[in-house]
Chains A and B, each alone.
Chain A
Amino acid sequence: MSVYINSTGHFLPGPPVSNDEMEPLLGLVHGKASRLKRRILQSNGIQTRHYAIDAEHNTTISNAGMAAKAAEHCLTGSFLGKRQIKMLSAATSQGDIVLPGFGSMLQAELGLSDIELHSSHGICSGSMMALKAAFTNLKAGEQPNALVVASELTSRLFKASRYEAAGSTLDFNAEFLRWMLSDGAGALLLENQPRGQCFRIDWIRSFSHADAYPVCMSVGYPTDSDHSKSWQDYATYAQAEAAGALLIRQDVRLLENIVKLGVDGYLRLIAEGRIQPDNIDHVLCHYSSHYFRGKIFDMLQRAGVGIAEHKWYSNLYSRGNTGCASIFIMLDEFRRTQHYQTGDTIICMVPESGRFNNAYMQLTVVEA
């Protein structure tokens, strides 16, 4: 049985925020301007993004609220009403509340009845894991359709007050993601029959390498720790926050591994015969393509499996890096604005730096 993406949707909160508007909105830490901001923004190339908090740090819409808006946007363009949805598969790195699962909160927000539910938890690849759960459910004939939604509201972690509560100094690893991540949601509707011009999911595969690498992106460990103590091991949450255990961090030194592992998975899929580099028409990658330049990229070209620059599509630079929601927001905008033809092959890649999980998907454009 084949599975098709018949509709897509997105929600980005508030107006686009430019690079110059970021710091006034997120706040000056200890009243001082960041000295790292310019360098980090230059390296990630992002020009505008969206936040679900305002300059007074009120939350303007919840994470589940954004997810519901993206899902409704997706359904608006579909042949199905809410009552016909049979499965909801949801992803986020951090819901509005710790428990229950994000999917439950989203189901209530959306008003979906009697559905089968799945919540996936992780960072950037969470959406692909949620998508795979829905994809396999449909493939097994268990359900005729599924709504897959990914949403992130990370800006709450970036308020100046959060950094101030964690002490006097800000290290590079704790500040890095402040200038990288932003808010938004994306949604896909999967069905077991094609409608109009749509995307058939050929396969979804992921490779996780957590056993071979240290944690690279995390929330929960205190500053400069040996990882023996987590945020839940303090007597009070206030103590955990003061120790920096609630800050989101990226171990920048380890980031290069994401490129290597991204290439490794790509080569594996070629060796398995799943990817045929010559047949690829479009590449959507949740990682700025300029990170893939350099030595390894050069090696891929020499090895005859490079992908021409013009085939890469990304909206990271204008919509921001919205964690697990990015790939859905990207696919939605690709579907609405880009030129593609029936028969085209689309490769989606989501390398997650959390502890190195890389997900891949191949779509074929088909016409019912």
Chain B
Amino acid sequence: MTEHVLSPQGQQCLQALMRVWFEFERQLGRVPLLQRLERGQFSKADYCQLLLNWRQQVIEGSRWISRCASSFERDYSDVRSTIIGHAREEHRDYEMLERDYVAAGGNLSDIQNAPRNIGTEALHGFLMYRAGQPNPVDLIGAMWIIEGLGQKMANDWATQIDKVTGGDGGYTRFMRYHGANDDNHMQKLYQLIDRLCQHPAQLTAIVRTARVTARLYCLQLEEVEHDY
């Protein structure tokens, strides 16, 4: 792995994004569903409910990334390539999630027909709106949060879910899959930070979008337990 040294502006951005991430982890620590998971008071039905809610965001996730790629103009064709690659890698992830849902005892038609919860509505709406802006540099902040979540799912949640629901890893494949190629993903993110964060206004925009994404992700998770 080659050392990728960030520019001073990129370094400032990385410091700020690390803090946004730690704050996000504390927000997650206050979500009742995740507190129950921590305490081991979490059933397979809870897990299915989590997947059912999560899937609606995952299936939309590839749409904003693709739109984000297409919004980068000619001066950013290198960035566009990277993001298109990323969108292509992940745009069928929801199928893996659906298989986990069925393996955990859910009905395929239930998860496929479920509506978006209001947190998902807000998150999806925000990301699609930002992705439609010309050269949406700030979305690196959203990618930061989502990459971090992938690693958190793989390293913390999947293990704990299997432990407290008596699973053998057979229905936590979607979560575990996001732990693979961590280093590679981080390298790409560092490169994007360096490439896209070149002056203070961009830094502010990136950090703001990271914070909004984090807050709306939390809202989506808070809404998992709400009936409507």
Q: Which residues of A contact B (CB under 8 A)?
A: 209, 211-214, 226-227, 253, 257, 260-261, 263-264, 267-268, 270-271, 295-296, 299-300, 302-305
Q: Are B190 and A302 in contact (CB under 8 A)?
A: yes
Contacts A213-B29, A302-B4, A302-B190 hold; do A260 and B22 have CB atoms under 8 A apart? yes
A271 to B30, CA, bound (A): 25
Task: Output the nearest chain A residue to B6 by Cβ-Cβ distance.
Answer: A302
With CB as the reference atom, state the residue of chain B lying closest to A251. B38
With A302-B11, A304-B8 already in contact, the answer to whether A267 and B18 are too (CB < 8 A) is yes
Contact of B5 among A261, A263, A296, A302 (CB under 8 A): A302
Measured CA separation A299–B38 after assembly (Å): 27
B147 touches A (CB below 8 Å): no
Q: How many residues of B are in contact with the other chain, CB < 8 A?
A: 26
The chain A residue sitting closest to B193, CB to CB, is A302
Minimum Cβ distance to chain A for residue B223 (Å): 19
- Within 8 Å CB of B112, what residues of A? none
A-chain residues with CB within 8 Å of residue B19 when the two chains form the complex: 264, 267-268, 271
Which A residues are in CB contact (< 8 Å) with B25?
Answer: 212, 257, 260
CB proximity to A under 8 Å, residues B171-215: 186, 190
Output the least CB separation between B215 and chain A (Å): 15
Whether B30 lies near A211 (C-beta < 8 A) is: yes
The 5 lowest CB-CB distance pairs between A and B, nearest first, are A212-B29, A304-B11, A212-B26, A264-B22, A303-B14
Contact of B6 among A263, A268, A304 (CB under 8 A): A304
CB distance from A299 to the nearest CB of B (A): 6
B6, B26, B38 interface centre (most CB from chain A within 10 Å) = B26
Main secondary structure of the interface of B (DSSP, over half): helix
Q: Once the chains bind, are A302 and B14 in contact (CB under 8 Å)?
A: yes
20 A-B residue pairings within 8 Å (CB atoms)? A212-B26, A212-B30, A213-B29, A214-B35, A214-B39, A226-B41, A253-B160, A257-B25, A261-B22, A267-B18, A267-B19, A268-B19, A270-B15, A295-B186, A299-B14, A302-B11, A303-B18, A304-B11, A304-B15, A305-B11
**Is the beta-carbon distance between A214 and B11 smaller than 8 angstroms?**
no
Q: Do A226 and B30 touch across chains, with their CB atoms under 8 A apart?
A: no
In the complex, A303→B197 CA distance in Å? 13
Are the C-beta atoms of B26 and A303 separated by less than 8 Å?
no
Q: Report how far A211 CA is from B18 CA in the complex, Å.
A: 20
Docked Cα-Cα span, A97 to B196, in Å, equals 60
Chain B hits for A295, CB < 8 A: 186
**B224 → chain A closest CB, angstroms:** 18
Considering the complex, give the chain A residue whose CB is closest to the CB of B13: A303
Q: Do the beta carbons of B11 and A263 come within 8 Å of each other? A: no
Given A212-B30, A260-B25, A304-B11, decide whether A299 and B39 contact each other with a Cβ distance below 8 A.
Answer: no
Check B30 against A303 for contact (C-beta < 8 Å).
no
Contacts of A226 in B (CB 8 A): 39-41
Instruction: Write the B6-32 contact mask toward A (1 if CB under 8 angstroms, else 0).
Output: 101001101110110011011101100
Contact of A271 among B15, B22, B38, B39 (CB under 8 A): B15
Assembled-state Cα–Cα distance A261/B18 (Å): 11
Q: Report B-chain residues with C-beta under 8 Å of the C-beta of A299.
A: 14, 18
B22-A305 in contact (CB<8A): no
List chain A residues, Cβ under 8 A from B4: 302
Residues of A within 8 A of B40 (CB): 226
A270 contact set on B, CB distance < 8 A? 15
The distance in angstroms between the C-alpha atoms of A305 and B18, with both chains bound, is 12
Q: Report the Cα distance A267→B17, complex, angstroms.
A: 10
Q: In the complex, A300 Cα to B15 Cα: how many Å?
A: 8
Of all chain B residues, the one with the shortest Cβ separation from A305 is B15
- List the A side residues contacting B12 at CB < 8 Å: 303
The complex places the Cα of A295 from the Cα of B5 at a distance, in Å, of 15
Given A263-B18, A299-B14, A303-B11; A214-B38 close (CB under 8 Å) = yes
Q: How far is the CB of B25 from chain A (nearest CB, A)?
A: 7
Q: How close is B150's CB to chain A, nearest CB, in angstroms?
A: 14
Chain B residue with minimal CB distance to A298? B186
Contacts of A296 in B (CB 8 A): 18
Known: A270-B15, A304-B6. 17 other contacts (CB 8 A): A211-B30, A213-B26, A214-B38, A214-B39, A226-B39, A226-B41, A253-B160, A261-B22, A263-B18, A267-B15, A271-B16, A271-B19, A295-B186, A302-B6, A302-B190, A303-B14, A304-B15
Q: Which residues of B sit under 8 angstroms from A253, Cβ to Cβ?
A: 160
B22 close to A303 (CB less than 8 A): no
Closest to B19 in A: A267
Residues 46-79 of B, flagged 1 when their CB comes within 8 A of A and 0 if not, give 0000000000000000000000000000000000
